Structure 1
Amino acid sequence: MKTIYLVDGSAYIHRAFHAVRNLSNSKGLPTNAIFGFTNMMLKLINDKKPEYAAMVFDAKGPTFRHEMYKDYKANRPPMDEALAVQIPYIKNVTEAFNMPMLEMQGYEADDLIGTLAKKAEKQGFMVVMVTGDKDFNQLVTNKSVVWDPMKDETRTVESITEKQGLPPDKVIEIMALSGDSSDNIPGVPGIGPKTAIALIQEFGSLEGVYEGVETITKKKQKENLQTYKDDAFLSHKLVTIETDAPVEFDPEKLRIQEPDSQKLAKIFSELEFRDLSKAYPVKTDLSKKEYTALTTEEDLEALAENLEKAGVFALDTETTGLDPMQASLVGMSFSYEADRAFYAPLTHDYLGAPDQVGVEKALEILGPVLSNPEIKKIGQNIKYDWIVLARHGADLQGVAFDTMVASYLLNPSHRSHGLDQIAMELLEHRMISYEEVCGKGAKAITFNQVPLEKAVPYACEDADVTFQIYGLLQPKLEKNQLLELFKTVEMPLVRVLVKMEMEGITVDSDQLQALSKEFQGGMESAEKEIYQLAGEEFNIASPQQLGHILFEKLGLPVQKKTKKKTGYSTDVKVLTTLASQHELPALILRYRSVAKLKSTYVDALQSLIHPETGRVHTSFNQNVTATGRLSSSNPNLQNIPIRTPEGKRIREAFIPRKGWEMFCADYSQIELRILAHLSQDEFLIELFKSGEDIHKRTASEVFELFPEFVTDEMRRQAKAINFGIIYGMGAFRLSNEIGVSRKTAQRYIDNYFVTYKGVKKFIEETIALAHETGMTKTLLGRTRPLPDINAKNRVLMEAAERIATNTPIQGTAADLIKVAMIKVQNALEEQNMQTKMLLTVHDELVFESPPEEIFQAQVLAEQMMEGVWDLDVALKVNIESGKNWAEAH
């Protein structure tokens, strides 16, 4: 029997909207309902693989039920604006999936589905009504069922009859008596679903109830039934789903077609559904492209000549892996005009592979062009290609534009700046994916094994698209007044990061191994103590088992449930709260911390030591944090705790090369100094100029004490207030942070603003400007769009206001340390010094230096960093040296 799926699209939409929360793209468009709706549709398509289907929506405006009863659905509020803006996208997604859509003025989706179901049954179809709405139970027959995708539950004649004690055709009778508050259907007061079922079981139908009403012994029930008889029969009409609406059933028009991948990819790209956009590959139209393989020395010589004439070109490398410090060069692609690119295969190695020039000869031919600083090079994440080429002996100069960095500057809150994402947004072009060429999982091959007929279009497309995007992004940077920041900070920084990543840092593997054993011993000791306190052994890593111990066995107060409300939450916040009440949560926190540090750093670092250099080479990311700060990965060296004993032990394993010393140059209170400059707060500026302890003085003002009476704990609290103000911290969060009541925290904040009137004015003016412009910016002109700054949702708006306040301060600090890195690196090179800049961690730069240079290097770092920008409050740098990172910090 053929099956048709009739989907209650309107119910899908509302369930999706309420199931997924706080999801939007970087432009501020709410996307939660679209995302949930799409995933429900995918569940239908993937699980049921329907041949026939229809997505049915409610049409705008009143229906025939409103003519019967003007108060029908009158208690429903207007559609939430955040949902309303998503409806067109939801319909576009449905259309792109090639799912037939139906809606009709004057009828609800229920009526269209009811009519189609009856007509489909007559034509020999099995009908599956896809909805969670129990009203549809009345339509269930031996040929029609209801499938609820959220519960993955199918409702049949048997299951409905078993559950309510009456067959599906009695659902209308039950609802006529009990009514439906969600649709404002009156029913009979005092009669709920259970009573209604009992009455229909006894009397058989609504008419039967009224024929035998005099036999009802319950006085109030009888009175209500008699008084509200008209309402009961009206309700019967209102809840009855129409099965004779003027809609035709033509199976061929409801046959599912293949999804339009191009349309879906474009929609998902705009909505920033990255995984979904990847799931719909589109065959790239290569007919308009001129993509050429260069396999001879003569080919490369001609290319070199043309690249020199062009004066600007995009380049991309193909390699054997993702780590630029270990990947081998397989080939290079070039483009200097749209829709035209060249691929030079160098080390492809498969059965039948053609002769190739090879890496050494290719770089000999192309070397003069690559090293010519007058010829501009364009790349996507060109830092990767730069490192790969440098490791293979090429001296890349003239790097002028990185499309990934440019995309990030324009859209810092965007989740992805990959070439495929940018291409879809700017060119509406779906790129060939790496998986299409190399496969995935266990069957994946490395690029050197890819045949040229596949490798050439893939590699050439990378260079071609990069060149085209460069032409689009440069004017955008100029229009948004970001070109100066791009040229003077972000692009020069790429060269500095290349040097730092290639340099790496030494870690003492023997010390790490010893530390691993020490941490393991500490964990085992903690385990025993945990079991002793718990009174039994259990799986410490299991939230369920830990929740049982804490809340059921020990009787500690439950703080919150898990997201699915199925168990107790045992997250860090919960355990921290409980730690003041019992020793066990505190011990669990310590155990978790040590276990994480052991796996993330102590053990992982040993496997990340480079086989040739013997050093660890982290990757610095320019396009991750929305504020402009650099982050690091593989390994992430910015999250090693500074103040814990375990964090200090890990930092002790980071050492300089033999005979050298390590030193750190750390900006002192840079964000507060920037706040003083931006706010022009006279009192704050004076504090910095006089050299007074700012946290102690803040404590004195906030707590209304003479400075000599300020304790260390008060200074700690004042420090939290000073930095909390920068992050837009309110009384609720501050009260949690420093352990006082919310009322007291608010008094502290009020006192702070009485003292620092200029700061208060700066925050108010910054927020007002953000509301006016929809963005915020740093001192150097870095911008951050604030799509939620004028949102009607107060939570979203206040979060945007905090970002508006914080970004000019934290973002400026990020900009300044980037400029400092460029200046320091240039100065080291100009003075032909051996000292190496190794790491950047927030406001700190880490160096290694030979003994004879260390004093000179420290002076140079201090001068460059303190003189990086002319602020009204001078920047201050602290410098420490030692035999390892912990000593130097």
Structure 2
Amino acid sequence: MTDSTLYLIDGSSYIYRAYYAIRHLSSPSGFPTNALYGFTQMLLKVLKDRKPEHVAVVFDVGRVTFRTEIYPEYKANRSAMPDDLVPQIAPIKEMVRAFNIPVLELPGFEADDIIGTIARHCEREGLATVVVTGDKDLMQIVSDRVTLLDTMKEKASGIRDVEERFGVGPDRVIDILGLAGDTSDNIPGVPGIGEKTAIKLIQEFGTLDELLARAGEVKGKMGEKLREFAEQARLSRRLATIDCQVPIQYRLDDFALSPPDNRRLAELFKEYGFTTLMKELTSTATLSTEQYRAVLDKPAFERLMAELQTAPTFAVDLETTSLNPLEAEIVGISVSCREHEAAYIPVGHRYPGAPDQLDKQEVLTALAPLLTDPALPKIGQNLKYDYQVFRVNGLEMEGIWFDTMLASYLLNPARSSHGLDSLSVEHLDHKMIAYAEVTGKGKEQINFAQVPVEKATTYSCEDSDAAFLLHRLFLPRLKEAGLEQLFFELEMPLVKILAEMELAGVKLDLPLLDRLSTGFGAQMADLEKRIHTLAPGPFNINSPKQLGEVLFEQLKLPTGKKTKTKTGWSTNVEELERLAEEHEIARLILTWRSLSKLKSTYTDALPKLVDPATGRVHTSYNQAVTNTGRLSSSDPNLQNIPVRSEEGRQIRHAFIAEEGHILLSADYSQIELRVLAHLSEDRVFCDAFARDEDIHTRTASEVFGLFPEMVTPEMRRQAKTINFGVIYGQGAFSLAKQLGVARKVADEFIAHYKERHAGAMAYLDSCVRQAEEKGYVTTILGRRLPIPDIASSNGNIRAFAQRNAINYPIQGSAADIIKQAMVKSFNRMRKEGLASRLIMQVHDELVFEVPEAEKVVMEQLVRHEMEHAVPLRVPLKVDINYGRNWSEAH
């Protein structure tokens, strides 16, 4: 070994720190991976930031050591290793070995002893050692050549840092530990002497031995304790002393860092679902680029057209100047109709020295018969975007057949990313060229139109080639999983529908939003004055720290359990709602916060999202995000626009119809309970829905033992809470709190409910069993929803998975139904040549913009298609309303 620095990583310390830093993570198969992932990231951080030339990782092995022999109670107070951490230990060590880093451990000794032994050896050889740890006990081995490094706190500790921490040099740390003991290791020390007192005593007497020899000089009970527990202090010091003479076999040269075993790392990353790490570390460019070509002249373009015209299918990918399809200009088009072959047609590269390119409009005109042919299947990754860009350019793509992003999503909805880069790493063992590699980053980033054609050709051809290759892999997997029909008849047709919805957008009443924003601001200012009047003085209401100090330190309001945190007092909604029951200031603060959120999130933000060309706001519907199959939306998130408060409803007033149009809102009534009735064949539910009864009123009459006509609105509200709470696994404590009743009453509600709905309860139990047996649950249309944590040894995690096993089939089936309704409604509207447009989907609601002349026909069409979207054992019911704005229509 040369005179470079050796990094010794305290593996045992970091295993626990990683485990508790990441509370839950699991592989696609349900194997717990939080400690494994956290440890791997820590290891990578050391390798990246420090670039050590020599490194080793040291672990404890077993609890029996020389310390337990001399003091059997040593660490006896420690609880057993968490059940879900135990199986991660071996993979952690395997991961270290895959990095070609030595793993050091020795029965009978702790990791600290091995670290101390090697550090002292290096010191004698004149070499420097950095010990990567968070364990203060290792401060005793710090010297001129031994330092500690806590990567999680980014703190290095040398001799001066030890002196600041303990008030003495490293050689006297064991004396302090002997006196004060260590509760975590069950080292007794001297009763009544803590660390601060121990530091003062050692500073005064120099050493523990000197202190014990002169214990008579220490007055009072402390002196008595020192004399009484002198031997215990010496024993404690021995227990705390790191043994630097461990008989472990090693050679310093063996610690020289070698390149990692990328093949083995890739196998481990794939097995445990670390796709991001696969992309960063182990993947390489494996796709051949020899058959990638740029199409720069008409003869080459004509040859490509001849290939595409005879191809049974092809993948297409656009390169543009913007991610916003309304603003994007086409820079180039890549296509692939055979594996490992692709062509790039540049049409918009603009930079000095750029080659002559084909005319964009001529290329689109020539491609139009192929792109608009519904009988010619098209492949792509996130085809919705390509469809929209072509649509803005006057070309309506048909035959949208296979989206690799959606195929991946159906095969594994719980996967964190369905991006092409991630999919290529996992399924093709290929690392894609990153966008930043061709355009640069930050201030140096260029527009794709400025990217050299040669570089753009490889980049874009790789995209279409990868999509073509992935579709070949995913197609048989969809068939094997029984997901073909769901994919081709629901998810793929939805691509075009969502694309059209996004392009259509929604008109906003900007003057109304401006008035609302001003009004909310005035209300907030008034509330702020009232809050400050009730407080000792002015303070920043938006500062949790200041708010906590005002409520709990100055006003002395009663604190809840675990209210105090490391950073201050907790002032979350739950805490404020607790206080609001008796204290006006908390009620006012809750109102102020609500108005602040409405103002910042909606009345101030929405106008900025309006497209200047269309005068409308265009949300993005995300088809491959949620675990249950439900759509989500972003920029803006339409799912979160409030509806319960009066102020929230005013926001919906700002969503308006174009002149001569109205908004039609069609909302499924109690769809999740109807789904449950269908799936479970519960007699009571089925009977109630067959009679078109109000299910919540019926539940209230059963729970409270009353005739339906005697049920009050408050009883119905409570019944609604019970219906959804019990079904989704809510316990008596939570239900009691939500209903405002005693725990015993909630227990009785739940027991009575389960007795009345035995069929539903049996079905929900069967969902848990299915998850336990297969690792997933299914929806009405066969969508598979993974429940990987159902077999977790961690009780809390397993309970959460069991609740998901109950929730997912119902929520996922509701998602299937509304998606099917969207497809059927859209197709009918197109077939009948109607001018009405579907413009929003929010939860169980569809919103259409309808010319006034089409009002009657659209009501009939929408009601029929939604109520017959999927055949159920109970009728689907839709509530339809109209209005000039969304609030009126809902």
Smaller-chain TM-score bracket: over 0.9
Supply the AA of the counterpart residue of 2:86: A
Alignment match, 2:834: 833
Alignment match, 2:482: 481
Alignment match, 1:54: 56
Residues 216 and 348 of structure 1, relative CA distance in 2, 3 Å threshold: closer
Supply the AA of the counterpart residue of 1:360: Q
Cα pair 1:661 1:849 within 8 Å, conserved:
yes
Q: Which deviates more, 431-440 or 195-204?
A: 195-204
Gaps of 5+ in 2: none
Distance 2:309 2:787 in 1: 43
- Residue 595 of structure 1 deviates from its aligned partner by 2.3
Distance 1:23 1:564 in 2: 25
Distance 1:175 1:514 in 2: 66
Distance 1:257 1:752 in 2: 64
- Residue 490 of structure 1 deviates from its aligned partner by 0.8
Q: Secondary structure at the match of 1:24?
A: coil
Alignment match, 1:334: 335
Alignment match, 1:130: 132
- Residue 433 of structure 1 deviates from its aligned partner by 1.2
Q: Which deviates more, 349-358 or 720-729?
A: 720-729
Alignment match, 1:495: 496
Distance 1:203 1:679 in 2: 77
Alignment map for 1:701-740 (pairs within 5 Å): 701-740=702-741
Check if 1:621 corresponds to 2:622. yes
Residues 573 and 69 of structure 1, relative CA distance in 2, 3 Å threshold: closer
Q: Which deviates more, 88-97 or 719-728?
A: 88-97
Alignment match, 2:428: 427
Gaps of 5+ in 1: none
- Residue 798 of structure 1 deviates from its aligned partner by 1.6
Alignment match, 2:821: 820
- Residue 396 of structure 1 deviates from its aligned partner by 1.6
Q: Which deviates more, 245-254 or 347-356?
A: 245-254
Cα pair 1:319 1:447 within 8 Å, conserved:
yes
Alignment match, 2:401: 400
What are the Cα deviations for residues 470-512 of structure 1, in whole angstroms up to 9, with x where unaligned? 1111111111111111111111111221222222222222332
Alignment match, 2:766: 765
Q: Secondary structure at the match of 1:880?
A: strand
- Residue 59 of structure 1 deviates from its aligned partner by 3.9
Cα pair 2:217 2:223 within 8 Å, conserved:
no
Cα pair 1:376 1:399 within 8 Å, conserved:
yes
- Residue 805 of structure 1 deviates from its aligned partner by 1.4
Residues 774 and 248 of structure 1, relative CA distance in 2, 3 Å threshold: closer
Distance 1:535 1:865 in 2: 57
Distance 1:274 1:585 in 2: 45
Distance 2:131 2:302 in 1: 66
Cα pair 2:265 2:282 within 8 Å, conserved:
no
- Residue 628 of structure 1 deviates from its aligned partner by 1.0
- Residue 91 of structure 1 deviates from its aligned partner by 3.5
Using the aligned pairs only, state the percent identity: 49
Residues 583 and 69 of structure 1, relative CA distance in 2, 3 Å threshold: closer
Residues 649 and 135 of structure 1, relative CA distance in 2, 3 Å threshold: closer
Alignment match, 2:779: 778
Distance 1:221 1:764 in 2: 65
Alignment map for 1:3-18 (pairs within 5 Å): 3-18=5-20
- Residue 384 of structure 1 deviates from its aligned partner by 0.7
Residues 267 and 765 of structure 1, relative CA distance in 2, 3 Å threshold: closer
Alignment match, 1:507: 508
Alignment match, 1:32: 34
Cα pair 2:382 2:404 within 8 Å, conserved:
yes
Distance 1:400 1:808 in 2: 27
Alignment match, 1:314: 315
Alignment match, 1:80: 82
Residues 208 and 743 of structure 1, relative CA distance in 2, 3 Å threshold: same
Tell me the TM-score normalised to structure 2 length: 0.92
Alignment match, 1:119: 121
Distance 1:842 1:658 in 2: 27
1:20 pairs, out of 22, 46, 58, with: 22
- Residue 527 of structure 1 deviates from its aligned partner by 2.5
Supply the AA of the counterpart residue of 2:888: E
- Residue 611 of structure 1 deviates from its aligned partner by 2.8
Q: Secondary structure at the match of 1:853?
A: helix
Distance 1:588 1:442 in 2: 42
What are the Cα deviations for residues 358-380 of structure 1, in whole angstroms up to 9, with x where unaligned? 32111122222222222221111
Q: Which deviates more, 287-296 or 453-462?
A: 287-296
Alignment map for 1:175-324 (pairs within 5 Å): 175=177, 180=182, 182-183=184-185, 229=231, 238-246=239-247, 253-256=254-257, 271=272, 280=281, 284-285=285-286, 289-324=290-325
Distance 1:239 1:163 in 2: 17
Cα pair 2:490 2:820 within 8 Å, conserved:
yes
Q: How many residues align?
A: 888
Supply the AA of the counterpart residue of 2:172: K
Distance 1:471 1:45 in 2: 38
Residues 457 and 704 of structure 1, relative CA distance in 2, 3 Å threshold: same
Check if 1:537 corresponds to 2:548. no
Alignment match, 2:701: 700
Q: Secondary structure at the match of 1:322?
A: coil
Alignment match, 2:681: 680
Cα pair 2:286 2:429 within 8 Å, conserved:
no
Alignment match, 2:389: 388
Alpha-carbon RMSD across the aligned residues, in angstroms, is 3.2
Residues 555 and 492 of structure 1, relative CA distance in 2, 3 Å threshold: same
- Residue 790 of structure 1 deviates from its aligned partner by 2.3
Residues 523 and 804 of structure 1, relative CA distance in 2, 3 Å threshold: same
What are the Cα deviations for residues 808-849 of structure 1, in whole angstroms up to 9, with x where unaligned? 222111101111111111111111111111111111111122
- Residue 416 of structure 1 deviates from its aligned partner by 1.5
Q: Secondary structure at the match of 1:378?
A: strand
Residues 163 and 766 of structure 1, relative CA distance in 2, 3 Å threshold: closer
Distance 2:809 2:399 in 1: 32
Q: Which deviates more, 812-821 or 545-554?
A: 545-554
What are the Cα deviations for residues 748-807 of structure 1, in whole angstroms up to 9, with x where unaligned? 111212322222222223223332322211111111111121222221122112111122
Supply the AA of the counterpart residue of 2:126: G
Q: Which deviates more, 554-563 or 427-436?
A: 554-563
Alignment match, 1:811: 812
What are the Cα deviations for residues 131-164 of structure 1, in whole angstroms up to 9, with x where unaligned? 2223323212233233334444444444445654
Supply the AA of the counterpart residue of 1:460: C
Cα pair 2:383 2:403 within 8 Å, conserved:
yes
Alignment match, 1:874: 875
- Residue 18 of structure 1 deviates from its aligned partner by 2.3
- Residue 198 of structure 1 deviates from its aligned partner by 7.5
Check if 1:346 corresponds to 2:347. yes
Residues 94 and 451 of structure 1, relative CA distance in 2, 3 Å threshold: farther
Supply the AA of the counterpart residue of 2:361: E
Distance 1:508 1:671 in 2: 33
Q: Secondary structure at the match of 1:413?
A: coil
Distance 2:244 2:179 in 1: 21
Q: Which deviates more, 70-79 or 758-767?
A: 70-79
- Residue 239 of structure 1 deviates from its aligned partner by 3.9
Q: Secondary structure at the match of 2:853?
A: coil
Alignment map for 1:140-159 (pairs within 5 Å): 140-159=142-161
Alignment match, 2:659: 658
Supply the AA of the counterpart residue of 1:8: D
Distance 1:503 1:417 in 2: 26
- Residue 856 of structure 1 deviates from its aligned partner by 0.8
What are the Cα deviations for residues 846-870 of structure 1, in whole angstroms up to 9, with x where unaligned? 1122222210111011111111222
Cα pair 1:300 1:365 within 8 Å, conserved:
no
Distance 1:189 1:522 in 2: 59
Alignment map for 1:412-491 (pairs within 5 Å): 412-491=413-492
Q: Secondary structure at the match of 1:384?
A: helix
Cα pair 2:26 2:788 within 8 Å, conserved:
no
Supply the AA of the counterpart residue of 2:146: S
- Residue 316 of structure 1 deviates from its aligned partner by 1.0
Cα pair 1:270 1:425 within 8 Å, conserved:
no
What are the Cα deviations for residues 719-759 of structure 1, in whole angstroms up to 9, with x where unaligned? 11112233222212212222223222222111212322222
Alignment match, 1:600: 601
Cα pair 1:281 1:433 within 8 Å, conserved:
no
Alignment match, 2:518: 517
Supply the AA of the counterpart residue of 1:16: A
Residues 703 and 83 of structure 1, relative CA distance in 2, 3 Å threshold: same
- Residue 432 of structure 1 deviates from its aligned partner by 1.4
